[in-house]
Amino acid sequence: MSAEKPEILSNQLVAQSRLFKVEQLELRFSNGERRTYERMRGGSSGAVMVVPMIDAEHMLLVREYAAGTHSYELGFPKGLIDPGEVAADAANRELQEEIGYGARTLQPLQQVALAPSYFSSKMDIFLAQDLYPSRLQGDEPEPLEVVKWPIADIDGLLAQSDFSESRSITALFLARKRLKLDR
């Protein structure tokens, strides 16, 4: 389907906080219908998530505080791409900040969107291999718990109540596919 995108008649900032900006779009669709949409305005260069393989059978995850659910969540290292930084460099920086390893090999897996009807941001997911010890100072308010997990135990990981972020689940399946573990 190659539908014509709606015409943006106006775009107005309607709410803003330290972290978020909400904009209102007045749209006219190709059939003449007009609608008002709201979306979160993207303010960064994007984000990255990394599936780090410490060896051929084990990956590393982090457990960190998630303000949205007011809980500790188990997931893969992630973070924003800094201005002027490319996604692969951001991925390697986040690894060093969050788990204390750099990667000699970073393979892009896929770029994903989170709720594209409401958010314009994208996340690049990488598979990291050939890790080496290297630590950079991160911006986390407390040390992150690093968890080593066998990639073959997908059912056990999915059964963890604190492994619930959709992007981490997506990253897990993309990494297993790239590693040819899903047959």
The 10s digit of each residue's pLDDT in 138-147 is 888 888 999 9
Query: How far apart are the C-alpha atoms of 25 and 117, rounded to whole Å?
Result: 12
| Per-residue pLDDT, 161 | 96
| Same structural domain, 36 and 65 | no
| Same structural domain, 57 and 116 | yes
Q: In the 3-class helix/strand/coil scheme, how is the chain assigned residue by residue?
A: CCCCCCEEEEEEEEEECCCCEEEEEEEECCCCCEEEEEEECCCCCCEEEEEEECCCCEEEEEEEEECCCCEEEEECCEEECCCCCCHHHHHHHHHHHHCCEEEEEEEEEEEEECCCCCECCEEEEEEEEEEEECCCCCCCCCCCEEEEEECCCHHHHHCCCCCCCHHHHHHHHHHHHHCCCCC
pTM, rounded to two decimals: 0.86
- The Cβ of residue 85 has, within 10 Å, a number of other Cβ atoms equal to 15
| Same structural domain, 15 and 67 | no
pLDDT top residue among 15 and 53: 53
In-domain check, residue 32: yes
| Band of residue 109 on the pLDDT scale cut at 50, 70, 90 | very high
In-domain check, residue 183: no
- Looking at the predicted structure, is the pLDDT value of residue 1 above 70? no
| Same structural domain, 60 and 23 | no
> Residue 139 is part of which domain span?
47-178
| Per-residue pLDDT, 2 | 55
In-domain check, residue 170: yes
| Same structural domain, 88 and 11 | no
| Per-residue pLDDT, 87 | 96
| Same structural domain, 36 and 54 | no
Per the structure, the count of domains in the chain is 2
- Looking at the predicted structure, is the pLDDT value of residue 59 above 80? yes
| Per-residue pLDDT, 95 | 97
